[in-house]
Structures are given as structure tokens and as C-alpha cells.
Structure 1
Amino acid sequence: MHFDFSYFLSLFALPAFWQASVTVIELSTLSWALGLALGFPLASAKMSSRRWLAVPASIYIWFFRSVPLLVLVVFVYNLPQLIPSAGVALSHPFFSGLVALVLTETAYMAEIHRGGLLAVTKGQHEAGAALGFGPIGLHRLIVVPQAFRVALPTLINEFVTNVKLTSLVSVISLTELLMVGQRLYSQNFLVMETLSAIAIYYVLIVTVCGWLLNGFERRLDLSRRKPPTLDSAALAALLASLAIPVKRGARLPRDADATQRPPSGRGTPDALLLKDVHKRYGQHEVLKGIDLAVRPGEVVSIIGPSGSGKTSLIRTINALESIERGEIVLFGEAFITATDRPGNRRVRAGVSRIGMVFQSFNLFPHRTIVDNVALAPRYHRRGTRDETTARALTLLDKVGLLAHAYKYPHQLSGGQQQRVAIARALAMDPAVMLFDEPTSALDPELVGDVLNVIRDLANEGMTMLIVTHEMDFALSLSDRIVFMENGTVQFDGPPHAIDALPDTDRVRRFIGLERRDAGIAHDAVVA
């Protein structure tokens, strides 16, 4: 069999093929984009805890992933026979093909989006909730941008697949590449030459579109973003713009009475008051009737063995966990009860007055350091964009990280990320700060910088609850030590009372063990 190269090459100058290529690009791009947009709410519906949303979404995805596209194309094209009113639009092969492709693409896109959404860690959701973000704001600013980056390679692959699937629309006489080729080789019988040219056209379309989409993917690749540390000149200019003295290690100017602890007289309500708080996970009760009062300006360290309920306690205070019984009062006002529903406005308003610093930092990886700090005040409209940015830069200077303001979290050490997390919490001007083992994920040499920032906050009169295993730090900084074991408070008193009271043997043994373990860990690191 002779391959006619001259005829094969002549097909690349044929206007009908180039017009058909445009049709393929239009059909594949439109169906991919519409499927991309419609697939996200479908994925969210399938992941919903509401069955009336999840079940129909699951059925849609199951059905349209099961039906062959060729069958669906023919069915949609002939649908006007059943529904005459649909004839105006569906009688045109392009629109019939578009509808069939969108129905199928939406089902596949939903599963791709779901994979991206599942890849966003629980900590990101909790960080947004701790900053007072509502469900829509949380998804728009935090979850969706991260999920989209995760899903983008698969979405690009789906576009390539969609380009090739457009050839099936030729069965309803759409003038696309395969239809043009069929008309030619039915006349001249040069099948191999014509199909080879069609294959080249598809390769060109996929190559050019894939190159553009891959370029977009590279632009969103966070690992390629490595802004430098600000040099001395840039840092001096930034400090001057914030009206902060250019002095290495300088602290922020504060009001004259900022270092004074808030009044805590008899008529002043407790900053936090927990009344008979119970919490369980399934059949396991982790909090068994906690009563705790924290006065304004107090620093309370919560210590105890693993599994004693320390972290569960601090998470209930910030509404990250619900309670089964009891009540939490914030500055004399009702805050959290056992009957509260998710999204309760009163609870969200209270959460915005409480700063939370997590053990694993939970910074938003897709945003710069300064954006991490400014995002929550900007979302809550606590100033213009310039004002919230200036406030964020000021706080970064406070924690000694102004030179890194335009970097991304992946460029920082663990200790630096934790200090950014503290600045992010402070950006909401909280009345109470919660720390959930803020140094446990850090190397020993990084612990000091974080503890120094917390110590400065204590000196400024910030009300703080700190879950920690840093015994020396807790004893030296805290007004009170709360020792928990088996879901109950076993000791609540000032540090000096641990040695003074006769019934604190268990606390003394625990503190001794913690100090010994810390010393062994430190010696191992040094060795």
C-alpha cells in the first residue's frame, strides 16, 4: 500500500480542517469550563452531611459516569422528539454535543474537585474557624484556592481527555475534525493519509492548550515562589513607612498602661468561666465536669499526662469541639452551651475575641506571611486593605519576622512559623489567647524564640491559657497551674502551692518526670 505524502501534506492547508479545529477547541473548552464550574458545587453537595444534598449528588455522579458518552450524545440530540420545546437549541449538533459533554464532565469534575477538597487538611479548616470565618468565607479564601492547586494537574489531564472525546460528536453530524476527514476519505478512499492528518491536528491542539494550562499550573506552584529576605535597606524603608524606630530587636511602642494587667477586682467578670463542662468522643468521656475560672490578665498553664483532656478542653473554649453538657461564659456573657448549633452567631462573635495558636501552626500555605496575618482582619472589615496590611507588618515586627514578611510559610523554620501564627492570632485584637502545646512540634533550639514571644504577651497583661509540657516555663510565667488527669482537674493553684501543699504529690511527680524527659531529649539532640 502506497502512502500519498503529497495528499497528506495538502490536508494542512485545507481551510475545512482549520475551521473544524476551531470547533473542537470551542466545544472542548466550553464543556471543560462549564464542567469545572458546575462540578464544584456538586462535589460540595456529595461531601455534605445533609443526606438530601449528598444522595442526589452521588446518584448524578454515578449515573453520568456510567452512561457511555456516545449514547448520551445521540440521546440528547434526539431529545426534541420527546420534548419538542427543546428542539430550538438541541437541534443544532454543537449545542447537543455541548450539553452531553457538560453532563458527563460535571460528574468527572465533581470527583476531581472532591479529591482536592479532601486534600486540604483539617487544620486549615480549624484555623479559619478559629479566626471567625464563616463557611462561605472559609471556602472562598482558604479551602478552594488550596484544593484547586491540588486538583489542577488532574483537571488539565481531564481537558486533554475532553479534547479527544469531541470526536464522538461526529455521530450527530457536527463538522469537527473527524467528520471532515470522513467526508474526504469516503470520496477518495485515502483513509490512512486522512486519519494521520486528523491525528496531527489533535496533537497540535492538545500540545498548544496543554502548554498554556501547564504554564498556568507553574504560576500557581508554591514551591517555585521563594521571595527573598528583605535586605537592610528594604527593611529600613518598610520600618519607616510604619513609623517604627529602626533599631535591631526593637519592640513596638505601646500605650503607657499597656503593660499594666487589666483590673480584676470583685466587680470585674471573669474573662473565662467554665461550668460543669462535659465532652465525649463516642463512648469515651474526655472531660468529666470541668469547672474553671480565669480572671482578666491571668496566665494559666494547663499541664497533665497525654490523654488527660488538656487539648480537648482548650478546643471546647474556642468552639472547635462541641460540649455535651455545661456552659462557657466569656467576660460575663453567654458564649457556648451544649445546645448550640454550628454557625451560631453568638458563638462566632465570641470566637472572634479569642486568639488560638495551634501545635502544628496551621498557616495558610498559599498566602504570604503578611497576608496570613492580615487575612482575618480584612475579612472582618476591621480596616482598609492598607490599614490591615500595616497592622500585620507591625505585628510581624513585634515577633521579629518583619524581614520575612513577603515569604511563604514553606520558606520558614518551625519556630518562625509558630511566631507568625501568634501574630496572626493577635491581628484580631483578642481578649484571650489560647496556646495548644505551641512548642511541641519544634526542635529544642527553636523553642526559646516562641516562649519569649509568649512571655512578652504575659508581661503586657494578655489573658492566656497555655497547654504545655514546658514545665520550667509554665512555673516561672503562670499565675496558676491547672493539672488535669483522666478528664478532671486534679489541682488548680499558684505554682508555689505545688511544693507547699501536702496533697500535691502527684503533681510534683509529674513535673519531675516531665523535666527529666525534657533533659534526656535535650541531651540526645546535643549528642
Structure 2
Amino acid sequence: MSFDWNYFASLFTLESFWMACLQVIKLSAAAWVLGGMLGFLLAMAKLSSSPLLRSPASVYIWFFRSVPLLVLIVFVYNLPQLIPASGGLLSNPFWAALIALVITEAAYMAEIHRGGLISVAKGQREAGKALAIGTIGAQWLIVIPQAIRISLPTLINEYVTIVKLTSLASVISLTEILTVGQRLYAQNFLVMETLAAVGVYYVLIVTVFGFFLERFELSLDLNRRKPQTLDTDQTLALRSQAAGYKKRHQSRSISSEPVLQLLGIHKRYGSHEVLKGVDLEVKRGEVVSIIGPSGSGKTSLIRTINGLEDINQGSIRLFGRDFIKSGAAVEGKQRTFRQRVKHIGMVFQGFNLFPHRTLVENITLAPQYHGNCKRESRLNAYALLDRVGLLAHSCKYPHQLSGGQQQRVAIARALAMSPDIMLFDEPTSALDPELVGEVLEVIKGLADEGMTLIIVTHEMEFAMSISDRVVFMENGVIQFDASPKEIREAVSAERVRRFIGLSEPDLEKSSRCSVG
């Protein structure tokens, strides 16, 4: 039996097939969009810390990933037999098929979205928290855009799957492509030719819509975007606009009143206690460097100051008022806590810039979230970028910069909130040696301007040259807290001198120079 090519070709002129194609497109597109939205809500619920949300979402995903779609389509279509009131909607094959598809696809797409959400680095959420952005705001502005980019290739593949699954709706006589084909070959028995045409129609839909969805995916691929460095004229124009937003330098002075007090701070990770009753007081305008061997609790300590780590015992006071007590914001008022944490800027070891936003957008995100004027926020961002020497790169994305440049942008982002205290968590440890100097120069500039700085660092020479006090931590406690001069001269500072590599000949030389 030969293949009837003339009949096969004639099937592409039939209006019924093209109308069925339109039906498939409407059904698949609606199921993809609605299933994606419901799936995202399920993913968020499954990742929730609340069992009341997590458990039902997990059961839903488990159950509807287990039930065959064909069974669900037939069940939904016949549901009016149990619930007569649903007959007006579910007796229509299109709506029955759509509901069944959405219910099933939501379960599958929930796992796709969950994969995207958990792929977003923890540091992104921490950066949002350090900028006093609330949980919902951080999800909407920081996490979700990145998660969607991560999930999009798999979501597009799921659309292809949905297009093919629409053929199962033929079981309830929905007029889609396979149904039209079945009616034709039931009349003329040209099964092979008809099914071949049906296959071509499905391939055509997948190809056309897959092309546009892949183009959309490529448009969101930040790695394909070319770096945009502003020319000299553009840079000068922005510098002129932002001139009024440059910070006025103030004289270097230290007040007598403490701006920050840590009282009896204890911190445990499980049974391991990393902070064992730390007391620390920092005055306005003071530069305090925290040094010590790895595992001494330096990073844990600095992260408790703005609530990135809970404390198990003790309290933290900011500007003489209770700020954090035993692992929670005072009185549990998160809004009050966020208002106060805005006074504390944070620069992370790993930069934690938002990769889906340009440098300007990174800097303006938090101020605009907190209600600042968009134009003023942008002008301030340009001024800050100029301050750290990166104004010409303002339209670039973080991945288009070197590590040292990214860290300088992170400093500018923290400064955009006009903080009273700046925290630096080993700001140079992730940098190549030749990039360390440019970051340290920016930090030194902040110290010269009178900014209160708390710096966790392994740059011993820098710490000794810039600090008013150097705090040496070991085994979860502060072993020594003194000025660089005292560390060089005090007999009790021998352990600290050994750690920073300050030898006895150096001390003798320093002593002879001071006598001379």
C-alpha cells in the first residue's frame, strides 16, 4: 500500500485543522500560564517554614504528579455527575481539559520553580536583609527575577510537553488536532497520511512558539549583553548632574558616646558555641578592626550586629537603645527593626551584588524601596559610583566587572542608605592580591571622613595602620582590645603580635625610632 502524498498535502488546506491548531494554542498557552502561576505559589508554599503551608503543598504535588493526566481529564469532564452545579462549565470539553491540564502542570511546574528558587544564592537574600528590605520585597525584587531566569529553559520545555499533552483531550471529544484527524481517517481509512499530517501540525506549533520563547529566553541572558562603558562626555555629564549629591567631608573625630554596644553575646550552631559572651563597645567615628585565627567567631560576631545571625544570649544596643535581644528584634517589631538596621551598612566578603541589575540599579534598589525619589536616588548613585571611581561603568552588570570593582560597587550600594555604621566582613579575602589595594583605598577614604567602621580582616598591616582599636578574637571570646600602639608595645599583647607577624626586632626598631 503506497503513501497518498496528494491527500497528505491536501490536509494542510483544511480549515478544520487550522481551527483545531488555534484551539491547541489557546489550550496550551492558557495551561502554561495558569499552571506556571499556580505552580509558583505551590513552590513558595513548599519552601515555607510554616507546616500549614508546606504540608498541603507537598501533598498536592505528590498526588497530582502521580495521577495520569488522561484519568484526570475524564474525571473532571464527568464531575458534573457528582456536582451538578459544575455542569455549566465542565460540560464544555475545552474548560474541562484546561482545568485538568492546569491542575497537573501546576504540580510539575511547582518543582521547576522550586529548583529555581533554591538556586538563588543565600547571599542575595542576606544582601536584601542588610539593606532593610522586607521578606516580600526581597522575594519580588531580588529572588523571583533571578529564579525565573534560572527556571525559564525548563519552563519552555514544559510548554512543549503541554502542547503534546493537549492531544489527550481527544478522549472527551475536544475539537483539537488529533480529534479532527481521527474523524477523517475513520471515514477514509487513510490512517498513516492523516496521522503524519497531525504530527506536522504539532511540530509546526512547537517550532513557532518554541522559537519565540527561546528568543525571549536569550533576551534575558545577561551573559550575552555587551559591556557598556560610558565615553568621556557622558561621564562628565553624569558627574555634573550628580555634583550636588557628593558627600561633604567632615573632620576625623571620635565622640565619647557609644553608637553600638554588644553585651554578653552568645551564639551557637547546634551544640557548637562560636561566641562565648562577647562584650564590645564602639564609639561614633571610631574604626575598629576585628582580627583573629579562622574559626574564632569574627564573622559570626559582625553578622549579629545587623541581625543576619540570631543570638542565643545577650543583647545589642544601637544609639543607646535596645536593638536585638536573644535572637529577635526588640519586641518582635520587624518594621522597627528594619528602620534601625538602615543605620548599618554591610559589605560582604562575596560582594552579593544583584546580578540581574546594572550597577546603578543595584545602588538605587534599596533607597527607592524605602520611598526615596527615583531621580534623586539615581543622581546619588552616580555620585557614589564617581566616588569609588566607577562612574563610567554605571550601565554595566556586576559580572562584567573585576572582583575589586564589584566590591567597590558593594561599598557604594551600602553607602546609598546613608548609614551611621559600616560593617566590612573580610572585604578583600575573595580578591586577587593586585585588586586588594583599590578596595582598601576606598575604606581608608571612609575612615578619613569620620565614618564609624567595624572591619573583619586578615589584612594585618592595613588594620594596624587605619584602626583606632584592634580587637583580637580567639576561641569565641575577645582576648585583647587595644590601640595599634598598645599592641606594638604592651607586654600582654605578645600573642597578638605573634599572630600579626610583628617580630621583636621590629619592636626594638620602633622603640629606638621613638626615642630618637
Q: Structure 2 length as normaliser, TM-score? A: 0.95
Alignment of 1:350 onto 2:340: yes
1:399 alignment partner, one of 388, 391, 394: 388
Q: Is 1:264 matched with 2:255?
A: yes
Letter in 1 for 2:335: R
Is structure 2 residue 460 aligned with structure 1 residue 471?
A: yes
Q: What does residue 321 of structure 2 align with?
A: 333
Divergent runs of 4+, >3 A: 252-255
| Residue matched to 1:293 | 281
- Return the alpha-carbon distance in structure 1 between the equivalents of residues 40 and 183 of structure 2: 39
Match of 1:521 in 2: none
Q: Tell me the CA shift for residue 253 of structure 1.
A: 5.1
Any idea what the Cα deviations from partners look like across 1:176-235, whole Å, max 9, x if unmatched?
Answer: 000000000000000000000000000000000001100100110010112321111221
Give the whole-Å Cα distance in 2 for the aligned partners of 1:340 and 1:330. Answer: 14
The answer on whether the counterparts of 2:260 and 2:317 sit within 8 Å (CA) in structure 1 is yes
Structure 1 contact 134–343 (Cα < 8 Å) conserved: no
2:421 aligns with one of 432, 438, 447: 432
Deviations 1:240-265 (A, max 9, x none): 22237xxxxxxx8543xx32246613
1:115 aligns with 115
Instruction: Return the alpha-carbon distance in structure 2 between the equivalents of residues 228 and 72 of structure 1.
Output: 52
2:322 counterpart SS class: strand
Question: 2:350 maps to which residue?
Answer: 360
Letter in 2 for 1:297: G
Which letter does structure 2 place at the counterpart of 1:260?
A: S
CA distance in 2, matches of 1:292, 1:403: 40
Any residues of structure 2 matched to 1:31-430 within 5 Å, and which? 31-243=31-243, 254-255=247-248, 258-261=249-252, 264-265=255-256, 268=257, 270-338=258-326, 340=328, 344-382=334-372, 384-430=373-419
Out of 499-508 and 203-212, give the one that drifted further: 499-508
Aligned partner of residue 280 in structure 1, secondary structure: strand
CA distance in 2, matches of 1:40, 1:109: 7
Whether the 8 Å contact between 1:335 and 1:346 is mirrored in structure 2 is no
Contact 1:289 1:488 in 2 (8 A): yes
Whole-angstrom distance in 2 between the partners of 1:7 and 1:442: 68
- Separation in structure 2 between the aligned mates of residue 172 and residue 454 of structure 1, nearest angstrom: 69
Kept after mapping to 1: 8 A contact 2:74/2:171: yes
3-state secondary structure, aligned to 1:100: helix
In structure 1, what is the Cα distance between the partners aligned to 2:280 and 2:288? 10
| Structure 1 gap ranges (5+) | 245-251, 515-527
CA distances 1:300-359 after superposition (whole Å, capped 9, x unpaired): 000000000000000000100000000000011111111526872232222111000000
Matching of residue 501 in structure 1 with residue 486 in structure 2: no
Contact preservation (8 Å) 1:226, 1:408: no
Distance in 1 (alpha carbons) for counterparts of 2:207 and 2:95: 25
Residue identity opposite 1:414 in structure 2? G
Counterpart residue identity of residue 352, structure 1: K
Q: Distance between the aligned counterparts of 2:237 and 2:493, measured in 1?
A: 55
RMSD of the TM alignment (CA)? 1.3
Q: Does 1:480 align with 2:463?
A: no
Aligned to 2:510: none
Letter in 1 for 2:321: E
The yes-or-no answer on 1:457 pairing with 2:410 is no
Once residues 437 and 430 of structure 2 are traced to their aligned partners in structure 1, the CA distance between those partners, rounded to angstroms, is 13
- Distance in 2 between the 1:173 and 1:253 partners? 70
Partner of residue 430, structure 2: 441
- Over 3 Å counting, the alpha-carbon distance change for 1:513 and 1:165 in structure 2 is farther
C-alpha contact 2:286 2:468 (8 A) present in aligned 1: yes
Distance 2:85 2:300 in 1: 59
Deviates more, 1:347-356 or 1:444-453: 347-356
Matched-pair identity in %: 65
Deviation per residue, 1:477-499 (Å, 9 max, x gap)? 00000000000000011110012
Contact 1:274–1:328, Cα closer than 8 Å, also in 2? yes
Tell me the residue number matched to 1:518: none
Structure 2 distance, partners of 1:103, 1:93, is 15
**Cα deviation, residue 386, structure 1:** 1.0
Instruction: Give the letter for the 1:391 counterpart.
Output: N
Paired letter, 1:296: R
State the shift of 1:513 in Å: 7.8
Matched letter for residue 33 of structure 1 = V
Following the alignment from structure 2 to structure 1, what is the Cα–Cα distance between the partners of residues 460 and 495? 14
Cα contact 1:479–1:495 (8 A) shared by 2? yes
2:246 touches 2:380 (CA, 8 Å); kept in 1? no
- 1:297–1:461 Cα contact (<8 Å) kept: yes
Distance in 2 (alpha carbons) for counterparts of 1:262 and 1:110: 55
Secondary structure of 2:422's counterpart equals strand
Report the residue type matching 1:167 in the other structure: S
1:431-455 residue CA offsets vs partner (Å, 9 max, x unmatched): 0000000000001110111000000
| Paired letter, 1:356 | M
